Amino acid sequence: QLYMNLKEQSFSWQYQREYGSNNETLTDKNPISESIHTYAGPELRDEMLKLKGCRTGEAKMTKGFNLAARFIIHTVGPKYKTKYRTAAENSLYNCYRNVMQLAREQAMASVAVCVVSTTRRGYPLEDATHIAFRTVRRFLENYGESIETVVFAVTDMEEPTYRKLLPLYYPRSEEEERASLPLIPADIGNSEGEPVVPERQIRIAEKPGCLEVDSEAETLDSDLGQVGTHAFSRMEGDVDKQRKLILQGQLSDATMQKQHQRNYNRWLCRARAEDLSDIAALKALYQTGVDMCGRTVMVLVGRNIPVTLIDMEKALLYFIHVMDHITVKEYVMVYFHTLTGEHNHLDSEFLKKLHEIVDTKFKNNLRAFYFVHPSFRSKVSTWFFTTFSVSGMKQKVHHVETLQQLFTCILPEQIDIPPFVLEYDARVRPYTHHSLSSPGILFQQS
């Protein structure tokens, strides 16, 4: 999460770490450093003498002393000259990157960040803000597992620029992301947020000098094909640039599939890392036997899903965690809608999100979805959802009025049915009231 405080700089003192800018001798006097020294006390000056200065772009750490923070991170921002713009950009990037790296190494949960290179050092505020936002964002994406909160503490003069650029790098919704897309600068750095100078880049081949170049007009694809397969020489496209192309509808199907796979892998890693025991205890999703075609049967119990009481994102993670190894081959799902109430009904937006996140194998290897004891309302909702929201599911969904109909596809001994479902089926929907003469109309053993 990113929290932003623009009105009271003192708010940042409440966090666990501090961050200030100085010159290389760490004796610079400016409002930020003076405030930190005032609140921290004289012990801070004594300890800073032991640091023996700090070079531009580096970051060094001291204790917080009397501040309501455990540590203070000191860095030195660059002076800006148009002639040496590239050097200034790289130095400013290193300031933010090294500050965040120190915060991670010390297992800090929160860090408050001021503006490093202000107009006092000649650095254009808007250019500096772009570097600050993208560097912190990329770091949080790649290494920010332990960092819970980042605070940007700015002055009234800096506030309008920060408010204007914040949605570009931290959009709160897809709509805001699309609205901000035209304002994103062409240069957004590499995967770490570091400024890139194309003419300084090199390409690494496994055996340099052994490849013959037939033409200077060689395509990029063939050029990339000559790159080695080892980890150092393997190259992938920038994630943010790919996201930009997705929003503009310019990515190929293969690239979009790769992007989708990367997104699914992130969810899968989260699912394997989080404690999902509270969701597992609901016994809403479990594996049972096989159907008559030998395919794995997964059971979903609607009444055991208290939608209004649980974290639905954790529920999604649990579904991915359980189903990932099941979906490598053909499988079927049985959903018991029996005795579900309003608080058990999954929102269509949640189902749509689930359908968009899961891997392609989830959809391709699902052979049938048996909807047991549907109500009229659920039939209508299912029809709308499979017709207008997702593709390729409508033919796989089968509404099952009784357990006896289900048993024409899955033998009773091959499925673990909750007792309340058996009682309901015997009491309210006795199978003798239904025609079973043509089960093949409902179920296709494909």
Q: What CATH number does the domain containing 336 carry?
A: 3.40.525.10
CB neighbourhood size of 443 (10 A): 18
The DSSP letter of residue 193 is S
Concatenating the DSSP letter of every residue in 275-326 gives: --HHHHTT--EEEEEE-TTS-EEEEEEGGG--TTTS-HHHHHHHHHHHHTTG
Domain ends where: 106, 138, 170? 170
Query: Measured between alpha carbons, how far is 435 from 239 in angstroms, rounded to an integer?
Result: 56
Tell me how far apart the terminal alpha carbons of the chain are, to the nearest angstrom: 46
Query: Would the pLDDT of 197 be above 60?
Result: yes
- Reported as a pLDDT band with limits 50, 70 and 90, residue 72 is very high
Domain ends where: 170, 189, 216? 170
Q: What CATH number does the domain containing 122 carry?
A: 3.40.220.10
Query: Would the pLDDT of 21 be above 60?
Result: no
Same domain, 161 and 279: no
> 64 in a domain, yes or no?
yes
Mean pLDDT of 331-348: 93
- pLDDT for 376 equals 92
- pLDDT for 287 equals 95
- Report pLDDT digits (tens) over 82-116: 888 889 999 999 999 999 999 999 989 999 998 98
Phi/psi for 331 (5° steps) reads: -150, 165
Same domain, 20 and 156: yes
Query: Measured between alpha carbons, how far is 130 from 189 in angstroms, rounded to an integer?
Result: 10
Query: Would the pLDDT of 211 be above 80?
Result: no
Look at 30-39, 47-56, 146-155, 431-440 and tell me which has the smallest mean pLDDT: 431-440
- Report pLDDT digits (tens) over 141-180: 888 888 989 999 898 999 999 999 999 999 988 889 888 8
Residue 204 neighbours by CB under 8 Å, 6+ apart: 227, 228, 232, 233
- Report pLDDT digits (tens) over 32-48: 788 888 889 999 988 98
> 352 in a domain, yes or no?
yes
- pLDDT for 119 equals 67
CB neighbourhood size of 329 (10 A): 11
**Which domain range does residue 378 map to?**
275-442
Structure tokens given for 43: 């012990």
Q: What is the pTM of this model?
A: 0.48
Same domain, 294 and 414: yes
User: Sign of the C-alpha dihedral, residues 316, 318, 324, 329?
Assistant: negative
Same domain, 29 and 157: yes
- Reported as a pLDDT band with limits 50, 70 and 90, residue 238 is low
